[in-house]
Amino acid sequence: MLVVDHITKSSFNDTDSFLFENVSLSVQATEWISIIGPSGTGKTTLLNCIAGINQIDGGTIELDGFPVHNLTESQKSDIRRLQIGFIFQDFKLLPYYSVLENVVLPLSKDKKSDQIRKKAVHLLNQVGINKSYYNRLPSGLSGGEKQRVAIARALINDPKLIICDEPTGNLDNDNKKQVLQILTELKQKGHAIIVVTHDDEVAYEGDRLYELKNNSLSEVVKVL
């Protein structure tokens, strides 16, 4: 599914030093990979490199055989829009779009509006958002509701790979458990999942655990 092979990324303000180097990682369908590490070590940048948002300085990244690192910006955008779902700590919902409009947005130009609307409604129901919320703006939602809407949006393109950057960081314990349950179900349905987190409970839900520290990524043996 995803193969990251010895990638290197220089620091943003110093091309002579590296944020990380020689990072390798593979993720298969139905597999959940967790990544931990101190703040500032480049975890979010690593996710952005995998998705083609940030350019790498060396190495290769392939998603289902496509060399993401060598694609044009337009091709990378299509890969993100059609094959990758993002879930962020701060939700990144558009403030002046309704719940339903936020969910349909990634595919709004690809399918008829009635088809994509039906799919969005189905996904919102799956994550526990009922129709009384569809016309609300994000400002009218709780943190847990915003995250569930963000998950529905991430799934609208039926992505092969789901990338999560601190997906439970702004949630209380009950909402965190709901999000973890949703992610577990998605993994069981065949999605590949990468989760960056500072929360040990979230990290240990993964099949494999990695730590990004001192410019390198290494696998960590989970202690049960």
Q: Where are the alpha helices (DSSP H) in the chain?
A: 43-50, 73-83, 99-104, 113-126, 143-155, 173-188, 200-203
User: What pLDDT shows up at residue 190?
Assistant: 93
Identify whether 133 is part of a domain. no
User: What pLDDT shows up at residue 77?
Assistant: 87
Identify whether 45 is part of a domain. yes
Is residue 24 classed as helix, strand or coil in its secondary structure? strand
**Residue 184 near residue 205, CB atoms below 8 Å:** yes
Identify whether 44 is part of a domain. yes
Identify whether 39 is part of a domain. yes
Identify whether 120 is part of a domain. no
Q: Which residues of 94-104 are buried (b: 16+ CB within 10 A; e: fewer)?
A: eeeebbbbbbb
User: What pLDDT shows up at residue 14?
Assistant: 59
Identify whether 124 is part of a domain. no
User: What pLDDT shows up at residue 107?
Assistant: 78
Q: Which CATH number belongs to the domain containing residue 33 in this structure? A: 3.40.50.300
Mean pLDDT per 10-residue segment, the chain (224 residues)? 93 73 94 94 93 92 90 89 89 95 81 82 92 96 94 92 93 90 92 95 95 93 71
Identify whether 43 is part of a domain. yes
Identify whether 154 is part of a domain. no
For residue 90, is it left (φ>0), alpha (ψ between -120 and 50) or beta? alpha
Domain count, the chain: 1
Owning domain of residue 196? 2-91+159-220
User: What pLDDT shows up at residue 223?
Assistant: 67
Pairing of strands 216-220, 208-213: antiparallel
User: What pLDDT shows up at residue 224?
Assistant: 62
DSSP symbol at 140:
G
**Residue 173 near residue 203, CB atoms below 8 Å:** no
